[in-house]
A and B are shown apart, each in its own frame.
Chain A
């Protein structure tokens, strides 16, 4: 069978979302960002919201998310994405407004903005990539770096006496009256990817039904370069070391509890 016979519309089993462009990604091999980007693009397209979405990018590796998904974007100052999203959603209540943030952005410098946007019950979705490290600046300790984990600024491993404890911020966010849906997922297997996609879809749907409430999808992620592991080993390390600290599953789903 010739190649031309195979590449036919009726044989198509998968294609990338139209709004994912062909720009080569700057993410390292094995990084979780690319998968999560694709899921976001898929959900936006499947919900028919390409013309009605405004995304907010963080400071960190995902600062350039706007180079890969062809929707309208605003690039925030470090940690401030939920403040931007608050105003965008209030001024444009019919739009899907989401932020995409890393652990340093969301749980260190942006802690106040994160907590207060969630506590106000802003109808936004926060996609939270937690890989326990600052990737873009070269692998420094993050608020979510687990005890004993080595980074450029805790080269002998995170010592909780010196650096404090890993901040499990989604555990706090779930207790806020303003949050509606808080979940923790991952993307290291096909099954995990499907669950994360469902979680993103739910968060985005919640943003658009007018009922209000903040939605947080934490994705426990890998950073092969920062962790200095091959992609495969990084996935294994994440399962063995990150998951016990950051167990997967819904932390709160107020619609399910009703």
Chain B
């Protein structure tokens, strides 16, 4: 790591990290609160240095399909958007999953439904982790809680996407996208050469070498017996990901009697709430899922044997709480605390919610 500490927005960190991790192409469409991703790329002009392609598409529908096109050739490609734009992308995301293509989608969430608000929210948890598009598929979902993680997760998401030939998503929120924080950017990694891409991705549509069969990137299969086998293969892959890629952080959990579960900016606020509660003698801990899928089900199930109650703290009407309850399976009470429509809770509110809902 080059230890140069910089101050920048989360969205800007995404852009710089993309260039530095050898991304081949970014395709996007402006939408608040994430437009700085493309703005930064257009200002830096990485095509002059690394050859990375950056293109403003005519819509989110088009940008995700450009990602689908680029990913088919084995290239490291990405897009970013915010909630309404990501809704438009769901068809393309389903195609990416169905054709087993690696790609990165960044969603800097804002409040909904509909056009909603441009203020931060976490109400796309369901969309991200339970499907969003059609069919039985999963996205590898990383939830950054700092500008540093915005930078770090770009490379990680690409690595996971290529490892499993599956689209990955960084599910951030308007707070993490817009706030400025110090960050150490990853070291420059050169883009892979075409030869390296072909070696890493022998399945890619790169122009048929006569030494191999032609490669066809498709999610279509009309024979139900074959399509069932395809789906079973996907499910086996998802199971492997669930076994190997769960990531989470435990904060003040060792002696906790009550547990908060929160991701993204909510986890930051919950961390402060834990400190305030402890000053009052309440042993409060925080479990922060870093991967929303695969979800840290096992570790939450273990905490159900240790703590008295859990509170799922989310900027939504109660989405992740369903997964927490599934993990806890009725052993201890699991409550939800949330604010909606772009309002962000304070640490005081969370401490108060712990007292009124759990104690």
Given A51-B208, A91-B77, verify A77-B68 contact (CB < 8 Å): yes
- Chain A residue at minimal CB-CB distance from B219: A75
| Bound Cα distance A80, B91 (Å) | 11
| Bound Cα distance A73, B67 (Å) | 15
B92 interface residue (CB < 8 Å to A): yes
Q: Mark A129-142, 1 if CB is under 8 A from B, else 0.
A: 00000000000000
The size bracket of the interface on B is 35 or more
* Residue contact B73 to A54, C-beta cutoff 8 Å: yes
- Chain A residue at minimal CB-CB distance from B207: A52
* Residue contact B65 to A77, C-beta cutoff 8 Å: yes
* Residue contact B25 to A87, C-beta cutoff 8 Å: yes
| Bound Cα distance A80, B73 (Å) | 16
* Residue contact B65 to A84, C-beta cutoff 8 Å: yes
- Chain B residue at minimal CB-CB distance from A70: B214
* Residue contact A51 to B207, C-beta cutoff 8 Å: yes
- Which B residues, 55 to 94, have Cβ-Cβ distances below 8 Å to chain A? 55, 57-59, 61-63, 65-70, 72-73, 75, 77, 91-92
- Chain B residue at minimal CB-CB distance from A54: B205
A90 interface residue (CB < 8 Å to B): yes
Tell me, rounded to whole Å, the shortest Cβ–Cβ distance linking A189 to chain B: 32
A176 interface residue (CB < 8 Å to B): no
A86 interface residue (CB < 8 Å to B): yes
* Residue contact A80 to B61, C-beta cutoff 8 Å: yes
B223 interface residue (CB < 8 Å to A): no
A168 interface residue (CB < 8 Å to B): no
Please name all residues of chain A whose beta carbon is closer than 8 Å to the beta carbon of B219 when the two chains form the complex.
75
Please name all residues of chain A whose beta carbon is closer than 8 Å to the beta carbon of B59 when the two chains form the complex.
112
B149 interface residue (CB < 8 Å to A): no
Given A74-B217, A87-B77, verify A113-B206 contact (CB < 8 Å): no
Q: Mark A47-91, 1 if CB is under 8 A from B, else 0.
A: 000111110110000010010001111111100100111111011
Given A86-B66, A91-B70, verify A112-B58 contact (CB < 8 Å): yes
Tell me, rounded to whole Å, the shortest Cβ–Cβ distance linking B49 to chain A: 16
* Residue contact A73 to B205, C-beta cutoff 8 Å: yes
| Bound Cα distance A63, B222 (Å) | 11
A198 interface residue (CB < 8 Å to B): no
| Bound Cα distance A140, B241 (Å) | 43
- Chain B residue at minimal CB-CB distance from A90: B53
* Residue contact B55 to A90, C-beta cutoff 8 Å: yes
B117 interface residue (CB < 8 Å to A): no
Tell me, rounded to whole Å, the shortest Cβ–Cβ distance linking B150 to chain A: 24
| Bound Cα distance A73, B218 (Å) | 8
* Residue contact B53 to A92, C-beta cutoff 8 Å: no
* Most A C-beta atoms less than 10 A away, residue of B24, B58, B59: B58
* Residue contact A90 to B25, C-beta cutoff 8 Å: yes
Tell me, rounded to whole Å, the shortest Cβ–Cβ distance linking B314 to chain A: 32
Please name all residues of chain A whose beta carbon is closer than 8 Å to the beta carbon of B58 when the two chains form the complex.
112-113, 116
Please name all residues of chain A whose beta carbon is closer than 8 Å to the beta carbon of B27 when the two chains form the complex.
87
- Chain B residue at minimal CB-CB distance from A88: B69
Given A84-B68, A87-B27, A113-B65, verify A72-B207 contact (CB < 8 Å): yes
| Bound Cα distance A106, B348 (Å) | 55
* Residue contact A54 to B207, C-beta cutoff 8 Å: yes
B209 interface residue (CB < 8 Å to A): yes
B95 interface residue (CB < 8 Å to A): yes
Question: Which of B69, B99, B208 is the one whose CB lies under 8 Å from A72?
Answer: B208
* Residue contact B62 to A112, C-beta cutoff 8 Å: yes
* Residue contact B62 to A83, C-beta cutoff 8 Å: yes
B359 interface residue (CB < 8 Å to A): no
Interfacial residues, chain A to chain B (CB-CB below 8 A): 50-54, 56-57, 63, 66, 70-77, 80, 83-88, 90-92, 95, 112-113, 116
- Sample of 14 more A-B contacts, CB < 8 Å, known A74-B72, A77-B65, A88-B70: A51-B208, A52-B207, A63-B220, A70-B208, A70-B213, A71-B214, A72-B214, A74-B69, A74-B216, A80-B65, A83-B66, A87-B77, A92-B73, A95-B207
18 A/B residue pairs, CB under 8 Å, sorted by A? A50-B208, A71-B207, A72-B207, A74-B216, A77-B91, A77-B95, A84-B66, A84-B69, A86-B55, A87-B53, A87-B67, A90-B53, A95-B207, A112-B58, A113-B61, A113-B62, A116-B57, A116-B58
